[in-house]
Structure 1
Amino acid sequence: MPIHPTLADWLEQALQAPLPEAVVGLSFNLSEGAAGDDAGFCIELVGTDRFDANDTDWPCDEIWAPPVREIELPFALTGQGWEACLAAVRAALLQALDTPRFGPRLTHQVEGIGLGFVDGDLDLLWQRAD
């Protein structure tokens, strides 16, 4: 199944330029959209200058964001509830990581990639093997 076009287009735009050398972690942060919007959830991408699989606060050390930091995700991708959104976005990002189009650009220099709701739990999507 192809990656949802909204997510694929945003990732393509976000990864046009190489990440700054100081970025060692990437975090995809989810949040609820404004009430009444057609999109119930938003996603943002930030780069951090540290990564620690044992400290879920590492995404707070943000030093980079792409020019379009955040987008709204359509319900066709996320579903209606936060659990469905998290599962769907996790699956879509894991699929992106597994493609030659996005995987190498996302993992080239970083030590780890996380996903979670802002002020919620953080799941590791990918971590460099030692």
Structure 2
Amino acid sequence: MGNDESKPDFQTCCTPMEVFDKQKVKAIVKQWLLFIAEYETLPNDIIALNFNLWEAVEENGQSCYTLELTGSKQYDAENDDWACEEDFDPRERNCDALQLSSEIPWEEVLNGLVEVLKELKKELKVISLFQVKHITVGFAEGDLIVIK
């Protein structure tokens, strides 16, 4: 991200949150999405976005849940494989500032992020990311939950 001081450094290593703090998670995700919206151009042919939850494992064996964003030119409500088509891959695809301890039950993480993204969809409805027709969230190996 260069030497531009106005851009947040999402590569900063964080200590994973031990509990799902909805307001803190929301603030982190909001800052990340606003950054992407400001510094990326979402192609007009992207009709769907997927927020992919995944478990990052550190060299020391510790793990945490984190979030990434990709976009696709296609969407299929009956088959979640559409999300594997990464036609939009933002430079800051990973929300590195969001690290949730893998000790938090995965269901709590997923349900919490569904709530956060639904709230942000309403609050940030004018940004290009929330103008797409379809938005989902889910773990890479699980079912996707429709946000929009």
Query: If the length of structure 1 is used for normalisation, what is the TM-score?
Result: 0.81
Residues 1-130 of structure 1: matches in 2 within 5 Å?
4-16=26-38, 17-34=40-57, 35-36=61-62, 40-72=64-96, 73-75=98-100, 80-99=104-123, 102-105=124-127, 106-108=129-131, 110-126=132-148
Point out the structure with max Rg over C-alpha.
2
Q: C-alpha root-mean-square deviation of aligned residues, in Å?
A: 2.1
Per-residue deviation at 1:13?
1.1
Per-residue deviation at 1:79?
7.3
- Range with bigger deviation, 53-62 or 2-11: 2-11
Which structure 1 segments of 5+ residues have no match? none
- Distance change (3 Å), C-alpha of 1:14 and 1:122: same
Higher strand share: 1
Distance 1:97 1:65 in 2: 20
- Distance change (3 Å), C-alpha of 1:114 and 1:29: same
Distance 1:29 1:111 in 2: 17
Q: Is the 8 A contact 1:79 1:85 kept in 2?
A: no
Per-residue deviation at 1:18?
3.3
> Over residues 19-61 of structure 1, what are the superposed CA-to-partner deviations in whole Å (9 max), with x where a residue is unaligned?
1112111000000121425xx2110000101012222111111
Distance 2:100 2:76 in 1: 32
Distance 1:121 1:52 in 2: 13
Identity of matched residues, %: 28
Distance 2:103 2:120 in 1: 19
Distance 1:107 1:6 in 2: 17
Per-residue deviation at 1:120?
1.1
Residue 31 of structure 1 aligns to which amino acid in structure 2? W
Per-residue deviation at 1:71?
2.2
